[in-house]
Chain A
Amino acid sequence: EPEVTQTPSHQVTQMGQEVILRCVPISNHLYFYWYRQILGQKVEFLVSFYNNEISEKSEIFDDQFSVERPDGSNFTLKIRSTKLEDSAMYFCAIGTSGSADTQYFGPGTRLTVL
């Protein structure tokens, strides 16, 4: 199973601040995803990223959110101006070229907005 790490494991921020969550796949992958899980709720899809561009995004993924692969390795999710309701666990997932039908998840970043 491909290894995916996420940093930080826990981020506490003030409402209105910008946060950047990072996903670091250990080897080269083609498909990248962000999901979030608000406490007590379902895991929700945010965005998928393929071939260096967004391939699909949910209605949650509004103008406050952005994604990029700044150095061809890390995959980041930026929230420009955090809201209280952004507090959630954020999971990065990757899909490999040899197994595009399967997504492997990182351990998550717990974001707390105060």
Chain B
Amino acid sequence: AQSVTQLGSHVSVSEGALVLLRCNYSSSVPPYLFWYVQYPNQGLQLLLKYTTGATLVKGINGFEAEFKKSETSFHLTKPSAHMSDAAEYFCAVSMTAGNKLTFGGGTRVLVKP
């Protein structure tokens, strides 16, 4: 069975600092990879995804993630944190198009002024 591990359930960053959220997956074949963001009392919004092609993918709000097959990782970064980035971030994988998503435990980001 697939599993997704997000290192760090809480991350605190200063405004303007780098945001780095880690995601590792277990899969024998490269899955489809996603990052979702959940703002307080809201649903899950797609930030970015990797399916095929370029391993560095750019998403909304200045976020990007890099798929590294050798490390089975899909870490999310943003060069400069903004107060509005405070939210919970979820990494997810699926094995094929239309297949279920398996989520990591989530990382809550706190941005300090």
Contact = CB atoms under 8 A, between A and B. Distances in A.
A102 interface: yes
A25 interface: no
B49 A101 contact: yes
Contacts of B96: 101
Nearest to B90: A43
B101 A45 contact: yes
Contacts, number: 58
A102 to B, nearest CB: 6
A91 B97 contact: no
Contact of A105 (B45, B49, B104, B105): B45
B101 A101 contact: no
Interface residues of A, number: 25
A45 B102 contact: yes
Nearest to B94: A101
- For chain B, give the interface size range: 20 to 34
A42 B32 contact: no
A1 B46 contact: yes
B98 A101 contact: yes
Interface of A: 1, 31, 33, 35, 42-45, 48, 50, 55-56, 58, 91, 93, 95, 100-108
A107 B42 contact: yes
Nearest to A101: B97
A10 B107 CA distance: 25
A104 B105 contact: no
A19 to B, nearest CB: 19
Contact of B100 (A45, A104, A106, A107): A45
Contacts of B99: 48, 56
A43 B46 contact: no
19 contacts: A35-B101, A42-B105, A43-B44, A43-B90, A48-B98, A48-B99, A55-B98, A58-B100, A93-B44, A95-B97, A100-B97, A101-B97, A101-B98, A105-B36, A105-B44, A105-B45, A107-B42, A107-B43, A108-B42
